[in-house]
Amino acid sequence: MPEQGKPLLKRRSTTLQEMRMLIRQPVLSITILLILTSLVIFILFPLYKIAKLSLTDQAGHLTVANLINVFTSLSYRITFFNSLKLAITVAFLATFVAYIFAYALNRTDLPGKKFFNLIIQLPIVSPPFILALAVIFLFGRQGLITRGLLGIKNHNVYGMHSLILIQVISYFPVAFMTLSGILGAIDSSVEDAALNAGASNWHTFRTVTFPLSMPGVISAFLLTFVQSLEDFSNPAVIGGDYAVLATEAYRIITGLYDFNGGAALALMLMLPTVCAFMLQRYWLGHKSFVTVTGKPTQKTRRMNNGAIPPLLLFCSVVVLFILLLYGTVFVGAFCKTWGVDYTLGFSHFKYVWGYGKDALRKSLTLACIAAPITGILGIGIAYLTSRKRFPGRGIMKVSSLLTFAIPGTVLGIGYISAFNTKPILLTGTATILIAAFVFRNISVAIESGSSTLLQIDQSIEEASTILGASAGTTFRRITLPLLKQPFFTGIVFSFVRSVTAVSTVVFLVSPKWPLATSKIFGLFEISKYSDAAAFVTLMIVVILIAIAVINFAVNIILKPRIHKI
Amino acid sequence: MENEYNKKSKGVVLRNVTKIFPSLDGKGEFKAVDDISLDIQDGELVTLLGPSGCGKTTTLRMISGFEYPTSGDIFFGEKNVANIPPNKRNISMVFQSYALFPHMSVAENIAYGLQVKRLSREEVHQRTYKVIEMMQLNGMENRFPNQLSGGQQQRVALARAIVIEPQVLLFDEPLSNLDAKLRITMRDELRDLQQRLKITSLYVTHDQSEAMAVADKIVIMRAGIIEQCGTPQEIYEYPKNQFVANFIGHANFIDGKIVSWNDGGATAEIMGKPYHFSSPGSERLPIGSECVVTFHPESAVITDSKEGMPGKVVKATYYGSEMDYEIVLKDESKIAVKISNPQNTKRYAVGDEVALELNTNCVRILEKEKKTGGI
Ligand SMILES: Nc1ncnc2c1ncn2[C@@H]1O[C@H](COP(=O)(O)OP(=O)(O)OP(=O)(O)O)[C@@H](O)[C@H]1O
Ligand SMILES: [Mg+2]
């Protein structure tokens, strides 16, 4: 028997013990080390590079001139306020439209809900440039409406007004999903109570429903605000003279080769996005879950029958307009010369096939490589940060949170400045593109993984551990099968976003590794809009097929089977 | 099979184990377990009993390896397990929530621990079905956990824990999710199984009758420290202090003063009258000091005689097999009295003036606690 009478409170350091435990679980420690290393290299190091570049001059001396320049130079200041003005306008309008949709679809008996729900998912999954193309086709110099119907010559479609229109349509569906979650979960008995107390419908909405959904409104506003700020593709092709931070940074770096200035702009772009992101986290984290109890309540009371006709009118107009936009691009892809010769044919597809076949194949290949990596890494990070204690967990948490908040343009600038010299020389390779895809899109896998893990009782994993399973085995045999859904979400999302990425990849594509989106961007620059339309149509088809294939594969791999023992 | 378990199992020893958590506001610290030492003999079942938040689960989790002791050591047999991760400790645990793997069938759940040990297919099969048989789970091997009743889930959890023939078996309130009747059946079954397999076990509960029914030894905890450790009989009959006496048997307390000690017995003055008690317990309080006279409700009777302590009935409840009275004595202390088989005795009603007579063999004398030992 062991000796008695040890000295009291000979304290052990927890960190030391965690370390010792890790040494005894080599697979786990190696995994943690790999993930930490990859996060440091692909998230923290590029950000450090941006900070360093923006604080040095071209000769490498320490200076704050770049930052001061951003604030004092009139053109930069205009750019900064352009970005903010656009983002605030778009966030306001998108939240407004989204609120009406969310209210109509969740709290009234609106007819055709399924149809509305389906159509407003379109902007979420579609490739970039589609709406810009549609607006050009409809309202441009040869526009069907401006020129054809109204007979206006030389209508200038480029500029802030088109940007607002396109971004509102692109981003309101995201706001809609946030608001739907919250409006759908408000217990109708609260409304009933107000109605019973004699309040009118409108009064009930104003004093009960709306205040209860306020966290969702703020969250949706911040979400769309960030997306508008981050957007590169629309300002690049339809912004015209309306310069915003994302496009300006691109112009300065690829046109003027001024990395220091570009980095300073990237910092300026990061400032509002990171702030908005943190605010959004705060609101969603602290407020909304109070009303969204997660407890299934009885069927939500459908009220406001008098409000249905105006709601229906509004939703129908918006949805019809969306259909018009998408339809226009689809038809445009088949028309010989838009605005001049509307004969249908496949000429643009033929051209695009020759022009972009290689790039499309490469886009798909890289996305196929990146998607599973994103899914596994994201789920791994979610698992480690929410379930394991180890030295370096703080770094992992912070850097994984950063992946939510870094705009694509900033990541692109970070990568091209971090990996263009030894020791990590990656520019011009497929690796840098894959890494960009992975770390640009990993946040969704982390998010859905973490929220699923919250719902899985931790003792299930402890049961596996205590029965003798190593951390790796527990993860593979217990956690991963239970995380099937978020894993799939992560993979599909990562795939779609990789194939359709623009803002990050414009900095990273090379002659050897062209990508589909950069090729479409190229078509815009030489005003070949019909070819671009054919290209995006092609991409939609390819993406839909790919989603079906991934869905099938994931289901086969992770299907629960009874193994006879 | 019994012998296999015997060979492997050895006792568990805790030496001065302390666990300090950073407190929730992040500033201070919180001692969940405070310098406890504990010996669990080979093949013994020890229950940890105590009010909520007293550190039972924390103690269990340190033994299982999910928490590290802030100081102190834990030994399995001769081996210090400080640096052994939970999956290498050769222990099993039955969780309060059962923690069955929802995506695996009953047989897969049970076989899991054998599979991760990389045993041969035949051995996995043979041992899995042996336990399925033992736990009467035949015919359910291909069901999923959500297709089982609570009691069946509990059995699967137990089967999964014992199939790997662990050196130590840990239970964290394993029966608290079952209804009262099933809890009694399951606790007998569980005790039976443990006796047959002779696995060294630690069993956490806050139900005292469950603890009495299953344990070889009971450990009473309060606020991170061990108040008393002993067999159920020792704990019940010779509680060390008011807290234990109250927690394990809802004992009565009457204030008194020590008058004298004489060959094993003691005389104490209660409300001005001396009483002699033949086995007052091991603690020798100094003569003249204040004490509490402690006895269980069934160790007293109420009579009409002039001998006992005078009091008044304030509550009388008839249960058929027994009758519960509440008496208020002259010094305002409230006394519970339990009369078994009330058919044979005189019954009293609320308001009756009565006398309380103690069975002097069953009375213990304890030190008066500063604060009352409330739960
Ligand atoms: N991870 C932790 N961090 C901080 N405090 C903790 C932690 N785990 C437990 N505690 C605290 O330690 C104390 C003991 O907790 P423990 O879970 O061991 O209680 P218990 O005896 O099992 O209670 P119950 O009967 O309610 O299960 C409690 O006050 C609890 O709040
Ligand atoms: Mg507990």
User: For every one of its 565 residues, what pLDDT tens digit does chain A have, with 9 covering 90 and above?
Assistant: 444 444 444 566 667 777 777 777 788 889 899 999 999 999 999 999 888 888 887 777 777 777 777 777 778 888 889 999 999 999 999 999 999 999 988 888 888 888 998 888 888 878 888 999 899 888 887 777 776 677 777 778 888 889 999 999 999 998 998 888 888 777 777 777 777 777 777 787 888 888 888 888 888 898 899 889 989 999 998 888 888 989 888 888 888 888 888 888 888 888 888 888 888 777 765 443 333 333 333 445 555 567 788 889 999 999 999 999 999 988 888 888 777 777 788 888 888 888 888 889 999 999 999 999 999 899 889 988 888 878 888 888 888 888 888 898 999 999 988 898 877 888 888 899 999 999 998 988 888 888 888 878 888 999 999 999 988 888 888 888 888 878 887 888 889 889 888 888 888 888 888 888 888 988 888 888 888 989 999 988 888 888 888 878 877 776 666 666 6
Given a cut of 70, is residue B217 above it in pLDDT?
A: yes
pLDDT at A142: 75
Q: How far apart are CA A494 and CA A292, in angstroms?
A: 28
Task: Locate B78 and state its tokens.
Answer: 């001769």
Nearest-CA residue of chain A relative to B124? A565
Specify the amino acid at residue A555.
Answer: N
Q: What are the angstrom distances between the C-alpha of A431 and each of A34, A381, A428?
A: 16, 21, 9
Taking the Cβ of residue A2 and every Cβ of chain B, the question of whether any pair is shorter than 8 Å is answered with yes
* Chain B nearest C-alpha distance from A562 (Å): 7
A562 interaction partners in chain B (CB closer than 8 Å):
105, 108, 142
Q: Is the dihedral of CA A35, B101, B147, B125 positive or negative?
A: positive
Find, in chain B, the residue whose alpha carbon is nearest to that of A479.
B101
Q: Which residues in chain A are contacts of B15 at CB distance < 8 A?
A: 2, 4, 6
Q: How far apart are CA B277 and CA B275, in angstroms?
A: 7
Judged by a CB distance cut-off of 8 A, whether residue A358 touches chain B is no
| A466–B15 CB contact, under 8 Å | no
Could you tell me which chain B residue has the CA closest to the CA of A387?
Answer: B66
Q: Is A191 helix (H, G, I), strand (E, B) or coil?
A: helix
Give me B168's structure tokens: 């130590």
Report chain A residues whose CB lies below 8 A from the CB of B72. 6
Please give the number of the atom of ligand 1 that sits closest to the Cα of B204.
22
pLDDT digits (tens, 9 = 90+) for B264-306: 788 888 888 888 888 777 777 888 888 898 999 999 888 888 7
- Enumerate residues lining ligand 1, CB below 6 A: B 21, 30, 32, 50, 52-58, 206
Mean local confidence (pLDDT), B363-369: 86
Q: Do A464 and B101 touch (CB under 8 A)?
A: yes
Q: Which of A551, A124, A98, A543 is nearest to A364 (CA)?
A: A543
Cross-chain residue pair A564–B107, CB shorter than 8 Å: yes
Residues in chain A: 565
* Ligand 1 centre distance from Cα of residue B224 (Å): 10
Tell me if A467 and B89 make a contact (CB, 8 A cut-off): no
Beta strands in B23-70 (DSSP E): 29-40, 45-49
**Would you state the structure tokens that stand for residue B269, as one six-digit string?**
């003055």
Which is the closest atom of ligand 1 to the Cα of B60? Answer: 18
- Reply yes or no on domain A23-564 having CATH 3.40.50.720: no
Q: Which of B103, B137, B154 to mutate to test the interface with A (most CBs of A within 10 A)?
A: B103
Nearest-CA distance A168 → chain B (Å): 43
Residue type, A168: V
Distance from CA of B61 to the nearest CA of A (A): 10
The half-sphere exposure of A337 on its side-chain side, counting CA atoms within 13 A, is 3
Residue B261 pLDDT more than 90? no
Contacting residues of B for A470, CB less than 8 Å apart = 87, 116
**Cβ pair A518, A359 in contact under 8 A:** yes
Cα(A420)–Cα(A224) distance, rounded to whole angstroms? 33
Query: What is the spatial distance between Cα B6 and Cα B44, in angstroms, rounded to a whole number?
Result: 11
Q: Is ipTM strictly over 0.95?
A: no
Under 8 Å CB-to-CB from A433, ≥6 apart: which residues? A366, A505, A508, A509, A513, A515
Q: Residue A175 burial by CB count (10 A; 0-12/13-18/19+): exposed, middle or buried?
A: buried
Smallest CA–CA distance, residue A482 to chain B, in Å, is 7
Encoded tokens for B250? 């809802």
8 Å CB contact between A60 and A255: no
Confidence of residue B170 (pLDDT cuts 50, 70, 90): very high
Whether A216 and A182 have beta carbons less than 8 Å apart is answered as yes
Report the Cα–Cα distance between both ends of chain B, in Å, rounded: 43
Q: What is the pLDDT of residues B35-53, one digit of tens each?
A: 999 999 998 999 999 998 8
- How many helices (H) and strands (E) would you count in chain A? 28, 2
Q: Where are the domains of chain A?
A: 23-564
Q: Which of A462, A471, A477 sits opposite B99 (nearest CB)?
A: A462
The continuous run of DSSP H or E covering A344 comes out as: strand A341-344
Nearest of A277, A236, A249, A271 to residue A79 by alpha carbon = A249
User: Which residues neighbour B132 within 8 Å (Cβ) at sequence distance 6 or greater?
Assistant: B106, B107, B110, B138, B141, B159
Domains, chain B: 2-237 (3.40.50.300), 250-367 (2.40.50.140)
Pocket perturbation via mutation, ligand 1, pick of B54, B59, B96, B170 by most ligand atoms within 8 A of CB: B54
B116 and A466: CB-CB below 8 Å? no
The most confident of the ranges B38-47, B80-89, B343-352 is: B38-47
Mean pLDDT of the residues in chain A? 83
Q: Cβ separation of A463 and B99 shorter than 8 Å?
A: yes
Question: Atom 24 of ligand 1 has which residue's CA nearest to it?
Answer: B52
Cβ neighbour number for residue B119 with a 10 Å cutoff: 16
> Of all helices (H) and strands (E), which one includes residue A376?
helix A347-387
Residues 468-507 of A with CB under 8 A from B: 468-471, 473, 477-478, 481-482
Nearest residue (by CA) to ligand 1, atom 14, is: B55
Tell me which of B348 and A142 has the higher pLDDT: B348
Q: Round to whole Å and give the CA distance between B221 and B33.
A: 10
Please tell me which residue of chain B has the smallest CA distance to A482: B103
Please tell me whether the peptide bond between B85 and the residue prior to it is cis, using omega within 30 degrees of 0.
no
Residue B315's Cβ-side half-sphere holds a number of Cα atoms within 13 Å equal to 10
pLDDT exceeds 80 at position B214: yes
Q: Which long-range contacts (CB under 8 A, 24 or more apart) does A520-526 make?
A: A520/A127, A520/A128, A520/A129, A520/A356, A521/A129, A521/A233, A521/A236, A521/A237, A523/A355, A524/A129, A524/A132, A524/A236, A524/A237
Separation CA A403–CA A13 (nearest Å)? 32
Round to whole Å and give the CA distance between A411 and A535: 26
Q: A1 with A443: CB under 8 angstroms?
A: no
Binary contact (B71, A9; C-beta < 8 A): yes
CA dist A486 and A451 (Å) reads: 9
What is the C-alpha separation between A41 and A48, in angstroms, rounded? 10
Tell me the HSE value of A157 on the side-chain side, using a 13 A CA sphere: 24
**How close is the Cα of B54 to the center of ligand 1, in Å?**
7
List strand residue ranges (DSSP E) for chain B, in order. Answer: 12-22, 29-40, 45-49, 71-76, 79-80, 91-94, 168-172, 200-205, 217-222, 225-230, 252-262, 265-270, 273-277, 290-295, 300-303, 309-318, 322-329, 334-340, 353-358, 364-367
- DSSP assignment, residue A56? B
How crowded is residue A126: how many other Cβ atoms within 10 Å of its Cβ?
19
* A469·B116 Cβ contact <8 A: yes
Stretch (H or E) spanning A342: strand A341-344
What is the average pLDDT score of chain B? 87
Q: Give nearest CA residue, ligand 1 atom 31.
A: B53
Site from A14, A18, A390, A467 to mutate, B interface, most B CB atoms within 10 angstroms: A467
